Chain A
């Protein structure tokens, strides 16, 4: 595996479900990010981790919970989501919070 890998690529979940998105980077970077991409809207930065410490949380609802167990792995735990949370969720990594390298994304549909 190379680059930034996200699993699953597609996810359909009900509003009462609990699921997790996984991201793994094979680039030796020390920072990782979650972004939300909705149609016709700019990319929204959700969470930033640098050296496994969260450095930014852009007012994201508590139904999204990130976890960064080490510098290579990042999770986004989801629970009681709303239909408006349906979007493409992109993970990215960088060295020293520099230019990000993106994964392919997880297409999430909340029904």
Chain B
């Protein structure tokens, strides 16, 4: 079965950086794009960016351009999201999500989420 398993909770100070991993399984890694989405406490969702392993490309939301880097390792079917220059507003649960094969590009499978707390 399809699974996306993320790394554990992180605590960072303002100005630090963090890397969250998302190990996928149960499908051919290069057949689907993977997205990162975050959810601040009690808030809605913010799309962060997309990883396209089959094309070797990434695209990020303009709001985070310059602070976020997404990479992947095809040999382990793992996607990584690095966020730098952390600020308190980055405190959120970070999710990786697989893009479906449907025309609407929905997110059909999600990781369990990784809580990032940014606090001095």
Q: Do A and B belong to a common assembly?
A: no
Q: Which residues of A contact B (CB under 8 A)?
A: none
Q: Which residues of B contact A (CB under 8 A)?
A: none
